[in-house]
Amino acid sequence: MRDNRRLGVVDWRRVPDPKQPTRGERDDAGLTGRIGRLALRPVRAVAQAGRGALTDEAERALDGVMAGPLPEAVGRSLVEHRVVERFATEVLEARAADAPTSTSAVDGERVEQLLREALESPELERMLTEAIHSRLTAELADEITQSPAFKRALANVMTSPEVRRAFEQQTAGLGADVAAASRKHARRADDSVEKKVRGWLRRPRADASPVPYAGVGTRGVGLATDAIVVAFLFVVGGALIGLVASLFGGLRPTWLAGLLAAVGWSLAVAVYFVGFWSTVGQTPGMRAMRVRVVSASGEAPSGWRSLLRLVGLALSVILFFTGFLPALVDARRQALPDFMADTTVVYDDPDAVQP
């Protein structure tokens, strides 16, 4: 074999490749890698140790964000920008576009069908149920009800004229229903009681036509209503008088207080009944039962006749209500107060004479 070194020929197999690292470079690289790995061990240990702390910190930060005004802002933004409606519209349009139709326009019947299917979907119902019963919804509702804005809005709604008007209409409607039912039952009692008493006495009514005069049932309910009203007014007035008298040590002696109370009650009853009978011909109780007292001329009785009628009313009550028995057999259903004052009590509304 020829000696290439003598001939000056270069053996390229023994020439080192400049792209490949030399043995010394490989040793240096290995040493550097081992040193780097040793140096990264503490960093990795610190990272692994701090991973749990970062997770706890992230959870606390998320709780703080959800406890703040962010959920309310997100909900308000969703409502204001109609995100749900826009999303539903895009989904329906996409489904309608994917469906094999002959035109590119979305068919109204198809959209309605898809919307009905979406609303009847059990998955949607389950999602809505879970959202309503979720803890976040309860907390959000509590935050909204406790907010000053909600309280101001609620106060404005409750004090609005519309709410007051609706409440008054409901109250008036309830009172009217109660009064109508009371009138209906009382007028039935007028005829039934009179019929039974006349049957016992063998004095049936000759004329079978409806009677326009009020009977003992209607008049009794009206009188009971008036008694409640007078008692309420007397109690309120007596309480005010007692409050004023307490500023000066009260009323002494006791018999004087009792005498004044009796006189006050008598005056309250006289002013109440005589005043209403002589002016409008009916007390509030009689107005509720749709009856009125009239004289022989068909008008409201005068003050003198009203006073005589009050005396007859007092005697009828004192005699254990026997003064009202003549109304069961009289043709015009007159009782003792009516005989004394020459008055009658008639129904005040056209439907009263219905059989």
189 exposed, middle or buried (CB, 10 Å; 0-12, 13-18, 19+)?
A: middle
Calpha distance 258→267 (Å, rounded): 14
Write out the two tokens for 259: 């005498």
In 10 A of CB 230, how many CB atoms? 19
pLDDT value at residue 12:
44
For residue 352, what is the DSSP state?
A: G
The residue with tokens 């009382």 is: 186
* Residue 347: count of CB within 10 angstroms of its CB: 23
Say if CB 345 and CB 291 are below 8 A apart: yes
pTM comes to: 0.53
Q: How far apart are CA 305 and CA 294, in angstroms?
A: 10
Which residues neighbour 245 within 8 Å (Cβ) at sequence distance 6 or greater?
A: 251
**355 residues of the chain, pLDDT tens digit each:** 444 444 444 454 554 555 555 555 554 445 445 554 554 555 455 455 555 555 666 666 666 656 666 666 666 666 676 766 776 777 667 666 665 544 444 566 777 777 777 777 777 777 777 777 777 777 777 777 788 887 788 778 777 777 777 766 766 677 778 888 888 889 899 888 888 988 888 888 766 677 899 999 999 999 999 999 999 998 888 888 777 777 766 666 777 777 888 888 999 999 999 999 999 999 999 999 999 999 999 899 999 999 999 999 999 999 999 999 999 999 899 999 999 999 999 998 755 544 4
Supply the pLDDT for residue 319: 92
Residues whose CB is less than 8 angstroms from the CB of residue 215 and which lie 6 or more positions away in sequence, other chains included: 187, 189, 190, 191, 193, 194, 327, 328, 333
Q: Comparing C-alpha atoms, which of 128, 106, 131, 133 is closest to residue 118?
A: 128
Neighbours of 241 (CB within 10 A): 15
Residues 301, 190, 221: CA angle, nearest 5 degrees: 65
**Residues composing the chain:** 355
* Euclidean distance between CA atoms 336 and 324, whole angstroms: 6
Burial track 248-280 (b if 16+ CB lie within 10 A, e otherwise): eeebeeeeebeeeeeeeeeebbeebbbebbbee
Supply the pLDDT for residue 7: 45
Q: What is the distance between the alpha carbons of residues 300 and 332, in angstroms, rounded to a whole number?
A: 17
> pLDDT value at position 150?
77
* DSSP structural state of residue 210: P
Write down the pLDDT at residue 43: 47
pLDDT of residue 52: 53
Residue 222 has a CB neighbour count (10 Å cut-off) of 25
Q: Are 212 and 352 in contact (CB under 8 A)?
A: yes
Where are the domains positioned within the chain? 179-353
Looking at residue 45, its pLDDT comes to 52
